[in-house]
Amino acid sequence: GGSAMAAVRDVEIDPEGTFKYILVRLQRPGGGEQRDIVRGTKAAEFHNHIFEKLNPEMEKLGYECKCLGGGKIDHNSKDKKIRVFGLSTGYGKADHSVTVEILKKAYTDYEITWSDDKK
């Protein structure tokens, strides 16, 4: 049970730049364990592109995915700073404070901030 979910990384984002991200809840069908993960990449022109790639991968592992919203991430690896902001037109705004807590687990030595700014 827990091992497959543990194998899914909390965070997968591009190492540098500004790009769209989504906050996704993974859940076992019928309830039980659930967790939230962050995915973001410059390769995605729209937020749903990220979800459409992630969803089948997670379904194979036996999870239901629900997108909790989106936004943008500005990742500055040189200065070790991440800024979370903006929103997704299709999915609405993710709770950026939740996103920041998840990012902090993966980027422990970073300064990570969020705002409701559009840019």
For the segment 24-38, the average pLDDT, to the nearest whole number, is 91
Domain residue spans of the chain: 11-115
Kindly name the residue from 47, 49, 75, 96 that is annotated as catalytic: 47
The pLDDT value recorded for residue 119 is 87
Q: Is the pLDDT of residue 96 over 60?
A: yes
Contact 105, 37 (CB under 8 A): no
Whole-prediction pTM value? 0.93
39 CB burial (10 A radius; 0-12, 13-18, 19+): buried
Residue 104 marked in a binding site: no
State pLDDT tens for residues 70-94.
999 999 999 999 999 999 999 999 9
The pLDDT value recorded for residue 3 is 63
The superfamily CATH assigns to domain 11-115 is Janus/Ocnus (3.50.20.20)
49 in active site: no
